[in-house]
Amino acid sequence: MGWVEIDGSYGEGGGQILRTAVALSVITGKAVRIYNIRANRPNSGLKPQHLHGILALKELSGARVKGAQVGSTELEFIPGEAKPKHVRVPISTAGSITLVLQALLPAMAFVGGSFEVTGGTDVPWSPPVDYLKHVTLFALGKMGLRVELEIRRRGHYPKGGGVVAGRVEPWEEKRPLVALEWEKVERFAGISHATNLPAHVAERQAKAARERIGELYNVPVEIETEVSRSLGPGSGIVVWAETDMLRLGGDALGKRGKPAEVVGREAADELLDQLKTRAAVDKFLGDQLIPFLAFAGGEIGVAEITNHLVTNVWVVEKFLGKVFEVEGEVGGPGVVRVVREVEV
């Protein structure tokens, strides 16, 4: 059996290499060895949230795994046959639920199944769950993939306790995604939430975002507010622009001492920044779409080519050979084109 060898310190050298590599191992049936895991990071090796993504994929595919423990800098993953099942992932900290789903969703797309993940829904350095639900899954829907996602409870740093459940229909009809530039913004929408905090926090975040967007765009801005209870306090807002192509997003998290108005404006500014280039795909969605694009085909215009995107292309091509052409420089706008579609 031939192994796919992946240097985990390549490019931005983060956990994403791991998530994409192990997902592709399950999809292709190829065993993978990843070494130098997160070698460039201050505390190298596997962290709990990476481990949970790997264990979820192990369960989905009945894999044999070596080196799956916190702090490990080398991992061997030999997949079995993936079958539809209900995968439960209990992260006991505020480890990111969306990062676990970034590993699980591409693999589950090929067999279907359901999941329940406990941990952090809205935590630093990872996409908030509302972004995944309303921006990422919207784009995947255009590619023919149906995913239902329900946010049962919010979870913030440091206590976590968030619960996200859902199901993935087997990806029968793969539709190419051609989304280069948007012509028109139809409307803006969003969700502003406050957990174990007064309702006015969510309202002030929403109002500030609404006002900031309204300075530049004369289209409806509909931001819902949500007030809930969980293990600990926290707040955040995700806003998105509904264009004639896809949705582009921006988000911000509250923290102690940071006024709700600042949080709302920060999310709005991040979104408005993404809209400046008129690219159909924001810089966060670009890298998330790479594993799916390889199988569906198409071409996308991205507001920014990030290191994450370039690294994800590299990992996918380690498994599948030359698939993509990337036009543009890291840090600027560009185009990602599928030059060879892949059959599984």
pLDDT one-digit tens code per residue, 160-192: 999 999 999 999 999 999 999 999 999 999 999
Tokens of residue 73, six digits: 């800098």
State the average pLDDT over residues 79-97.
Answer: 94
Directed axis angle between helix 15-28 and helix 48-61, to 10°? Answer: 0
Q: Is the pLDDT of residue 344 over 80?
A: no
Going edge to edge, which strands form the sheet with 31-35?
3-7, 31-35, 75-78, 64-66
Q: How many Cα atoms occupy the beta-carbon half-sphere of 4 within 13 Å?
A: 27
**pTM of this prediction?**
0.97
Active-site annotation holder among 52, 134, 193, 308: 308
Q: Is the pLDDT of residue 251 over 90?
A: yes
Residue 284 assigned as binding residue: yes
E strand intervals along 232-314: 234-243, 247-253, 298-302
Tell me whether strands 185-195 and 234-243 are parallel, antiparallel or unpaired. Answer: antiparallel
Any idea which residue has 């404006």 for tokens?
Answer: 265
Tokens of residue 191, six digits: 């969700």
Residue 46 assigned as binding residue: no
All structural domains of the chain, each given as residue ranges with its CATH number in brackets, are 3-178+281-338 (3.65.10.20), 182-275 (3.30.360.20)
Residue 18 assigned as binding residue: no
In the prediction, which pLDDT does 31 show?
98
C-beta separation of 176 from 337 below 8 A: no
> Which of 337, 340, 292, 343 is closest to 28 using CA atoms?
343
Amino acid (1-letter code) at residue 165 = A
- The strand pairing partners of 102, in sequence order, are none
Residue 285 assigned as binding residue: yes
Alpha-carbon gap, residue 249 to 131, rounded angstroms: 7
The answer to whether residue 50 is catalytic is no
Amino acid (1-letter code) at residue 227 = V
- The strand pairing partners of 116, in sequence order, are 88, 165
In the prediction, which pLDDT does 49 show?
81
